[in-house]
Amino acid sequence: MNGGGVKDDMSILWARFDRIQQSTQESANLTNELLLRLEYMSQEQARIAARLPEQDRAWQHEKKMYEERLRVWENLYQRNPFVVILVDGDGMIFRDEYIRQGEAGGFQAAVHLQKEIEHHIQHEAMDVPVNSRIICRVYANVGGLASTLVRANIISEISLFEDFVRGFTRAKTLFDFVDVGSGKDRADDKISEMFKLSIDDFHCRHIFFGCSHDNGFARLLEKTMDDDSKVKRVVLLEGAPFEKELLSLPYKTKKLDGLFRDSKLNVHKANGINTGVQAVPTVQKNYSIVTGLPSRFPPAPSRASSNGNGLVMDSPNFANVAPNLPRTPSTSTLASDGLPAAIKPMMNWAEKAAAPPPPIVHPSSPKYEPVNREEVIARNRAGQRVDPQTRDYDKAEVDRVKKIKMCNVHFLRRECPYGTNCTHLHHYEPTPSELATLRLVARMAPCQNGSGCQDIKCIYGHRCPAPPSKTNRSKGKSCIFGESCKFPPELHDLDCNVVKTLVIR
């Protein structure tokens, strides 16, 4: 081996040693750096860990607060859930078979309505709690609608519909049939405000809206149609077919079978007779009225005249009787020929005076059995009809007789137009005392022809029978009932001294 070769080998060895040494130093440096970083992170972890209990307590407190608030809202939302039924009763009219049963029919209609809504909640509205209470508000002009029903020959007297309304309200604690009185849009305004109040109440889970007959409610419903949460809570009830504008709205619809009339109420010309008189609707909307009473009767003749029956109209005050008769029919009465009285006063007053007397039914006829051998229409000096004296008012006896549901027209006139279809009792044998009470009850309903009535067999009242009030003289209604009295002002304070009579033997 020569000296040059050994020298080269040593150089290589030293070079390798230097590289290993450098690498070891780098490893040492890296290890040192990692140890320093680990120490820093351990210190930071210890510092953060020392602060965690305080932060955790604050977070837990905030979480508990929000959970408590959530529970409160959930309890409020779940507490007292209810659904609302809003019905425009002037157009959504209950079926005839309910109305003709009076108070019992009103009770049955309310029960039927409640059952239908309960069934819907249980089987169709799955988001509505089954324990939701059901609130119902029916708004209508009760007096006007009752008069229209009489004129349509659906019922025989106004009091029958009033009994229906009473029965409907009494049937369920949260059901109310609200009389809004006469006036344009009164029912609409009340329904609209109740709808707005209910749709924004989170307790109200559903609104059943009975308005299919009236396009006017489309404006109200359009205001909420952009809110899906509100749209799904509203169901439109169908009575008469939906008007065009309502059909285009995105709300669900439902028809409650057997509850509401499926057509609008029409008062046709009686038995096809053209009376030639323009009708005046009793209720100002939603009715197709073809004929009825004129708003005022023509004035009476000023000169003395006779109608051929011994009734001499020679009083100067008699001319003022006809124009002051009630403008709106208040109850039903049947004329002697069996036609509804709503179609009777169509000829002018002078023609009535000159017309032949109504046909006299012979006492032997089974259709009519007079109580007395003679029947009289008594009149005072002003020509106003004076009713015969009835028995004294006994509330307990009146209520008892009313519950029997005897047909007034059958027992007092012997000519009920409904015959076997009448919803009141015909096959009953009243005592003389019950007949006297029935006659009193009939007199408590005002005759639509007022004090000028010429129907010899009229069973209704031609003057207010209530005792006079010592203090109340509201709007000319001087009796103890004041404004709430069914009799118009002109049928109060009538002179009861008889000076003329129309006698039929």
Helix, strand, coil % over all residues of the chain, rounded to 5: 45, 15, 45
Do 339 and 476 fall into the same domain? yes
User: Quick check: is 210 in a domain?
Assistant: yes
pLDDT at position 250 is 94
pLDDT at position 355 is 38
Do 202 and 343 fall into the same domain? no
Nearest 5°: CA angle at 402, between 107 and 431? 145
User: Quick check: is 340 in a domain?
Assistant: yes
User: Quick check: is 66 in a domain?
Assistant: no
Nearest 5°: CA angle at 110, between 107 and 114? 140
pLDDT at position 43 is 85
The DSSP symbol for 249 reads: S
Q: 206 with 127: CB under 8 angstroms?
A: no
CATH number of residue 88's parent domain: 3.40.50
Do 209 and 88 fall into the same domain? yes
pLDDT at position 31 is 81
The model's pTM is: 0.46
> Which long-range CB contacts under 8 A does 300-306 form with residues at least 24 apart?
300/349, 300/350, 300/353, 301/349, 301/350, 301/353, 305/350, 305/353, 305/354, 306/353
Do 93 and 187 fall into the same domain? yes
User: Quick check: is 473 in a domain?
Assistant: yes
The residue with tokens 């031609």 is 462
Pairing of strands 204-210, 234-238: parallel
Do 312 and 217 fall into the same domain? no
User: Quick check: is 206 in a domain?
Assistant: yes
**Chosen domain end from 207, 234, 255:** 255
Do 213 and 320 fall into the same domain? no
Q: What is the DSSP string of 443-505?
A: HTSBPTTGGG---TT--SBSS--SPBPSS--GGG--BTTGGG-SS-GGGSS------EEEEE-
The HSE-up count of residue 187 (CA atoms within 13 Å, CB side) is 29
Do 92 and 157 fall into the same domain? yes
Do 222 and 301 fall into the same domain? no
pLDDT at position 379 is 87
Do 315 and 379 fall into the same domain? yes
pLDDT tens digits along 267-283? 643 333 332 323 333 33
* Sheet bearing 204-210, strands edge to edge: 175-179, 133-140, 82-88, 204-210, 234-238, 252-255
Q: Write out the residue range of the structural domain in which residue 195 sits.
A: 78-255
Residues 6+ away with beta carbon under 8 Å from 145: 89, 90, 93, 161, 282, 283
Rounded Cα distance between 404 and 392, Å, is 19
Q: What is the DSSP string of 103-135?
A: HHHHHHHHHHHHHHHHHHHHHT-TTS-TT-EEE
> What backbone phi and psi angles, to 5 degrees, belong to 248?
-80, -5
Reading the chain (505 residues) residue by residue, the pLDDT tens digits are 555 667 777 788 777 777 777 777 777 787 888 888 888 888 888 887 777 776 677 777 777 787 777 777 667 667 889 999 999 999 999 999 999 999 999 999 999 999 999 999 999 988 898 889 999 999 999 998 998 899 888 999 999 999 999 999 999 999 999 999 887 778 999 999 999 999 999 899 999 999 998 888 999 999 999 999 999 999 999 999 999 899 999 999 999 989 999 988 776 433 333 323 233 333 334 333 322 333 233 333 333 333 333 333 333 333 333 333 333 333 333 333 333 333 333 333 333 333 333 343 333 333 334 444 346 788 888 888 988 888 887 888 888 988 888 998 999 988 888 888 888 888 888 999 999 999 998 988 899 888 888 888 899 999 888 888 877 655 578 888 888 888 888 888 888 888 866 554 4
Do 237 and 355 fall into the same domain? no
pLDDT at position 473 is 58
pLDDT at position 4 is 64
User: What's CA 234's distance to the chain center, in Å?
Assistant: 18
Pairing of strands 234-238, 252-255: parallel
pLDDT at position 267 is 61
Do 248 and 328 fall into the same domain? no
Residues 6+ away with beta carbon under 8 Å from 332: 150, 155, 156, 157, 158, 340, 341, 342, 448
Nearest to 137 by CA among 69, 206, 187: 187
Q: 267 with 289: CB under 8 angstroms?
A: yes
Rounded Cα distance between 339 and 344, Å, is 8
User: Quick check: is 377 in a domain?
Assistant: yes
Rounded Cα distance between 346 and 86, Å, is 38
pLDDT at position 361 is 37
Domains: count for the chain: 2
Residues 6+ away with beta carbon under 8 Å from 440: 390, 391, 393, 398, 465
User: Quick check: is 108 in a domain?
Assistant: yes
Do 141 and 224 fall into the same domain? yes
User: Quick check: is 282 in a domain?
Assistant: no
